[in-house]
Structure 1
Amino acid sequence: MRIKEMVGNLIETAISKHASDIFFLPDDNQLLVNLRTLKGFTNQANFTENEGKEIINFLKYAAQMDIAEHRRPQVGALTYQVNDVNFYLRLSSVGDFTDKESLVIRIIYQVNTGQYFLPDQIDQLRSLTHKRGLVITSGPTGSGKTTTMYKLAKYVGQNQMVMTIEDPVEIQESSFLQTQVNLEAEISYTRLLEAALRHRPDILIIGEIRNATTARLAVDAALSGHLVLATVHAKSTLQTISRLESLQVDRNELVNCLTAVTYQRLLPTQAGYSCLMDIAAGSVLRRNILQSQRGNFVAWSQNLTELKKRGEISAQICEQFQAG
């Protein structure tokens, strides 16, 4: 019971701080518990080595992982409820070179927890989705990309077939057909994408475009009339175009299939966290696709300055997020 209460306190503290991850890391003869929030990487608690082993074993058991295996990488998942709200936890464990085990928990927040500084931005994206094609969202881990994709799909997907391909499924949504990569069962992103095109969804959510093969299938789906919502790793809005080119998608295809590209971050406010987006669509998007040299953002800096003037973010936060 003591370990259960300790774990519960750690998870609830992390959620109250809107942490994206909880790290359980071995250090000499103790276990460090660190949180990743928008303020950075901070220490939350320290435990003895034996307490640390008990905590990790408790979490692995709850997530249906093998508690007897301490060296090989494992993944697991569980749902944790706080104040009648479900939070989805994704666990990953691995041993270091001394065979001491570490564990990381990623916290997935529900779709309805997403708040936006500029609500007209999500309305703009909602309008753009009616054009079908490919809508790409970029941003670092924990920036709310999946939440945004799910919001858009729920907005426009009523009475339509919505199918997701993820690794892993991050948000459970009963109205969607959700599929998940399972490499042990030889169910890869590629195989699921190929199956999805045969399954004839109206809206296809791709958790992440990871390589040229995934990019090719996403483009083909968009060109064939589907609305495709996907994420990709890129450092800014317009560099998302360059990232797709590096995955062997040519400019003519981008002109024909790309409806919008966005970049987003979660910024701290007095009341919690809200999402700020930068969106390229229409003539701005087309012009940048056809350029060989691209900048980074459309209106990111201007929007940060406006939020600072309105008192919604501090001058420090405005400066901190200028580069995205």
Structure 2
Amino acid sequence: MEGNMSKLQDVVILLRDGTKLKGSLHNAFNPQQGQVSIIRRGEVENISLKDVCCVSFLVQAGLPRYKRLPSEVIERIVTVSGDEFVMRVLPNEVEFEGFMATPQEDNSPIQRIYFVSEGVKSRELTDLIGTILDKENLADTASIEKAVQEQKALRARRVGDILVDDGKISKQDLEESILDVPTSGKNKKQRLMVGEVLVAEGLITEAQLLDALEKQKKAKGKRLGEILVESGVITEEAMLIAMAIKLRMRFIDLAHITPSLEARNMVAPSMARKHFLLPIFVDDKKLIVALTDPGNLGIIEDISFHSNHRVIPVFATREQVTGLIEELYGPEGQDDDELDVELTSVAEDDASELEQTQVSEAEKAPIVRLVNRTILDGVAAKASDIHIFPVEGATRIDFRVNGLLQQYMLVSEMALRPMLSRIKIVAGMDISEHRLPQDGRIQMRASGREVEFRVSVMPGLLGQSAVLRILDKGNKPMRLEELGLSDAHAKAINQIIRSANGFFLVTGPTGSGKSTTLLAAMASLTTLPRRLISVEDPVEGKIPGINQVQINSAIGFTFARALRNLLRHDPDILMVGEIRDQETAQIAVEAAMTGHMMLSSLHTNDAAGAFPRLINMGVEPFLVADTVKGVMAQHLLPRLCTECRIEIAPEDDLIAQLNRYGFDYDGPAYKSEGCKACHNSGVGGRVLVYELLLVNEDIARLISLNSSEAQINKAARQAGMTSMAEMALGKAREGAINLAYVMPLLSTHDMESDS
């Protein structure tokens, strides 16, 4: 906005009651703040723009005047205070809350004037629209002059009335072509005909209009503007710009605009598709909607009614709007008001008695639609988690995608309670409990796919929050070779898990892909003539050939209890989703010693840390040394988007950190700045970095002696293990990840081994 005028700028503020206040700007003027701060008589005054017609910025000595632009048009502007101005205005630079203009006189003491939209009574264009379009190179001078000459005789009468009098069209056809256009005054409308505007402004001839009206009779349902464009009489852009200028609206190019998800939820997809309109932006006061049809301005009132927002319409081409509708709402047939979604509880017990008022709120159509749309978008975005939580004055919804938390949308703070109530109902939780944490599960069936959610609700200072972990059962399990392992490492892991007995562990933080690696290992064993059983919490995907068991801690069916009982089911290979306690660890190690191959996971930062962790759980060191055959520690790091990735010089502090850990890095660095392909996140997926520790005799001896993690790590490095930090550094050198992502992994690298 050009209205960001500097400090100490002299201004004159015209109030709605006609009062004029002269002073100097105290702060840089920004209309979005809703006020202007001036210094007057030595005091700072904050004046609300609701009380202002316009703000005049006076010419300052020594500073050049605003340069006249050839595309500017002349307007006569009358404010609600009754003051009249003749100004130069850019035809397509009208702001939503106001607009900037320049005095017509070159010697005016005023440099620029910011007009508040609500403070303007009327705006009259003194230039012919055809002349404006000539400036914009949308119509040639010869065709405009010819059209103007043909219309000179019509200036005294409306074109539509002449056509009716001559019997060219019926009165009914004329009425159907006339728009009721809201003006800046409250509850006032003006009658306007699209064809009449285009004829009167020299863009089409009477004959062309008559021909279009005849075609409209035969093509019922088609708008006049659409017929004119299809006939080649006028381009869509020229028509929309002309109507935008006449109606004091704005024509915008959507190529560089990303509509907000908050705005999307204000308009049902069925309405957007039917009327070729696109919600672009929304805040507490207004909703900006792009229209493609100047003859359909009546839809504004419907949108305003359903969204409970003041609607500000703009014009855009149908091609751009149609493309963004598909992008914003998804393929036709997945509309919010016709979502193929079934949410059901997977809890064992019935939910407790529900408070009727909360149930009523939670089952209202807008809330159901909002929850369904949030869940569908989370699944479509391949998010691992959906976060719904309160912030000051709003409810925020975030998605965790590729390990990074991204804001999905902000909705009203009033939506939090009914949203959480809806989620609690389908998750089988107690809807009346607000003081204690609750856990539940939801199954969703959407478009033939089955997705399960682990739901956790937690009380907080501002209110309750919820996190939904997404478990897409429709995803096929990956093979070890598809995880990003080297051929040598994939072969080594396959040799371990095909052993008659032993223990293979996968470690890493939450969200590092441990379950994916374990399931990939199990999936690779399904071709063997062996009995495979997995114990999971929850079962994240169905794998043919494996007996998968779901843990239910609420009824006492824990990992330890499941493992004890499953040993009587004659398994050859057992997978336990996670070792969480001493009992589970003891049973797993004993099973590994008695002819079973065990696979499981632990929460440790590196591979060497798995051994002290098991020992600290109460497992004897010699048992750990005898059973554990290998440990794979892993992390998932954000992959740089290849569409917007650029090479940069490594930062000095990053190089210094690498040097302290014994790395002499001389390669390039890369970053991604964000683009449409990656939704401006700069991330194009995730990269697996890992270290594989294979237990040999030396390492087994160190484990049995309860040696330190550093000693085990050093022995593994001497045996040829590549640390995660080294692997990540190689990925950074290739341009797969940002060099900064390597830094947190340096602590897993033994400093002394490179000294």
In the alignment, structure 2 segments of 5+ residues that lack a partner are 1-364, 642-683, 749-755
2:521 alignment counterpart: 152
1:76 alignment counterpart: 440
Amino acid at match of 1:104: V
| Displacement after TM superposition at 1:104 (Å) | 0.9
1:241 alignment counterpart: 611
Q: Which moved more, 1:45-54 or 1:111-120?
A: 111-120
Q: What SS class does the counterpart of residue 410 from structure 2 fall into?
A: strand
Distance 1:287 1:93, change over 3 A: same
Distance 1:237 1:163, change over 3 A: same
Task: Confirm or deny that 1:279 pairs with 2:692.
Answer: yes
Q: What SS class does the counterpart of residue 210 from structure 1 fall into?
A: coil
1:172 alignment counterpart: 542
Q: In structure 1, how many angstroms separate the alpha carbons of the residues matched to 2:447 and 2:484? A: 25
Q: Percent of aligned positions with the same letter in both sequences?
A: 26
| Greater relative contact order (Cα < 8 A, sep 6+) | 1
2:737 alignment counterpart: 313
Q: In structure 1, how many angstroms separate the alpha carbons of the residues matched to 2:393 and 2:431? A: 20
Q: Is 2:483–2:517's contact at 8 Å kept on the other side of the alignment?
A: no
Q: In structure 2, how many angstroms separate the alpha carbons of the residues matched to 1:185 and 1:70? A: 23
Task: Confirm or deny that 1:24 pairs with 2:438.
Answer: no
User: Which runs of structure 2 are paired with 1:287-302 in the superposition (5 Å)?
Assistant: 288-290=702-704, 292-295=707-710, 298-299=721-722, 300-302=724-726
Distance 1:288 1:267, change over 3 A: farther
Q: In structure 2, how many angstroms separate the alpha carbons of the residues matched to 1:80 and 1:23? A: 17
Q: In structure 2, how many angstroms separate the alpha carbons of the residues matched to 1:119 and 1:16? A: 30
User: Which runs of structure 2 are paired with 1:99-248 in the superposition (5 Å)?
Assistant: 100-108=463-471, 110=475, 112=477, 116-120=483-487, 121-131=489-499, 132-158=501-527, 159-248=529-618
Q: In structure 1, how many angstroms separate the alpha carbons of the residues matched to 2:391 and 2:731? A: 41
Q: Is 1:304–1:318's contact at 8 Å kept on the other side of the alignment?
A: yes
TM-align CA RMSD: 2.9
Q: Which moved more, 1:5-14 or 1:237-246?
A: 5-14
Structure number with greater Rg is 2
| Displacement after TM superposition at 1:113 (Å) | 6.0
| Displacement after TM superposition at 1:137 (Å) | 0.9
User: Which of 7, 22, 34 is the matching residue for 2:398?
Assistant: 34
Q: In structure 1, how many angstroms separate the alpha carbons of the residues matched to 2:478 and 2:408? A: 24
Q: In structure 1, how many angstroms separate the alpha carbons of the residues matched to 2:367 and 2:494? A: 45
Q: Which moved more, 1:33-42 or 1:262-271?
A: 33-42
| Displacement after TM superposition at 1:201 (Å) | 1.4
Task: Confirm or deny that 1:47 pairs with 2:461.
Answer: no
In the alignment, structure 1 segments of 5+ residues that lack a partner are none
Q: What SS class does the counterpart of residue 173 from structure 1 fall into?
A: coil
Q: In structure 2, how many angstroms separate the alpha carbons of the residues matched to 1:229 and 1:78? A: 28
1:94 alignment counterpart: 458
**How big is each residue's C-alpha offset from its partner over 1:162-200, in whole Å with a ceiling of 9 and x where there is no partner?**
222233333333532222333332322222111011112
| Displacement after TM superposition at 1:203 (Å) | 1.5
Q: In structure 1, how many angstroms separate the alpha carbons of the residues matched to 2:629 and 2:446? A: 38
| Displacement after TM superposition at 1:79 (Å) | 4.0
Q: Is 1:189–1:214's contact at 8 Å kept on the other side of the alignment?
A: yes
Q: Is 1:91–1:105's contact at 8 Å kept on the other side of the alignment?
A: yes
Q: Which moved more, 1:253-262 or 1:108-117?
A: 108-117
2:728 alignment counterpart: 304
Q: Is 1:116–1:276's contact at 8 Å kept on the other side of the alignment?
A: no
Q: Is 2:625–2:701's contact at 8 Å kept on the other side of the alignment?
A: no
Aligned residues: 323
Task: Confirm or deny that 1:265 pairs with 2:628.
Answer: no
Amino acid at match of 2:741: I
2:197 alignment counterpart: none
Q: Which moved more, 1:46-55 or 1:65-74?
A: 65-74
| Displacement after TM superposition at 1:94 (Å) | 3.1
Q: Is 1:19–1:37's contact at 8 Å kept on the other side of the alignment?
A: yes
Q: Which moved more, 1:3-12 or 1:303-312?
A: 3-12
In the superposition, the TM-score normalised over structure 1's length comes to 0.86
| Displacement after TM superposition at 1:225 (Å) | 1.2
| Displacement after TM superposition at 1:18 (Å) | 4.6
User: Which of 38, 56, 63 is the matching residue for 2:420?
Assistant: 56
